[in-house]
Amino acid sequence: MYVWLNNQIINKIKKLIEGVKGVQAEEIDKISIKSKDEIGYLAEVFNDYIQTVKNQINEIEANRKLYEAIAEKSEALIFLFDKNGQILFANPKANEILNKEEVDTAGEDLFNLLNEIIKMNKEEKTFLSEFRLKGGLFISGWIIPIEERESILFIAHDITLLKKEKDKLFERAVKDNLTSLYNRGYFEASVRKLFNNIKKRRELLFTFY
């Protein structure tokens, strides 16, 4: 009876355990037990599970490489900060912007701004329309809090040239070409804005009373 148990059960269990340890140590990728009994069934289940995990890991790795390639080639600025403000990832375009900054704390300053905006917006995804960096650059983009990792993802674009063109167009629209003084349209718009603000304050005042 002992010999039978040893050959039919105990040795197979030992082989199963050794196989599991071999997979854990990445020495083998499959447990080799071909018997048709319960232990052989367990080995098949382990092998199916191992293959499923391997397929998932391969898929994750393929997606990671794809996303990294997209980020590397993207013209967008992509930052990922941890909860302490350390930069976990910055694509080449983001690093280029950081290198243009005049101070070493550019990444820290950007994180503090993003963190404050997230707190004001109750931890929700927020669009930052226009932000001036200390180096004179203007950027805009999405601030995305990632709760699972307690981190902040910031995907932005450099809008410095667009901002300059916008300012030039505004100057042309509100200033006289010869004198460079503000024109009548600008003053009329300013007066209308002033009266509207006064009107709103009066309406607000009356609502309190």
- Domain positions in the chain are 2-69, 75-161, 175-208
Mean pLDDT (the chain) is: 80
The pLDDT tens digits of the residues spanning 71-121 come to 888 889 999 999 888 988 889 988 887 776 655 667 788 888 888 888 888
The whole-model pTM stands at 0.57
The pLDDT tens digits of the residues spanning 134-180 come to 777 888 899 999 877 689 999 998 888 888 888 888 777 777 777 77
Confidence of residue 207 (pLDDT cuts 50, 70, 90): very low
Is the Cβ–Cβ distance between 181 and 175 less than 8 Å? yes
Looking at residues 10-35, what average pLDDT do you find? 81
Q: Which long-range contacts (CB under 8 A, 24 or more apart) does 7-10 make?
A: 8/37, 9/39
Distances (CA, A) of 115 to 40, 148, 175, 194: 55, 16, 39, 34
Q: Are strands 151-158 and 138-146 parallel, antiparallel or unpaired?
A: antiparallel
Joined together, the tokens standing for residue 44 give 């098949």
The pLDDT of residue 209 = 42
Closest CA to 33 of 18, 56, 15: 15
Q: Classify domain 75-161 at the CATH class level.
A: alpha beta
Angle at 11 between CA 7 and CA 13, to 5 degrees: 130
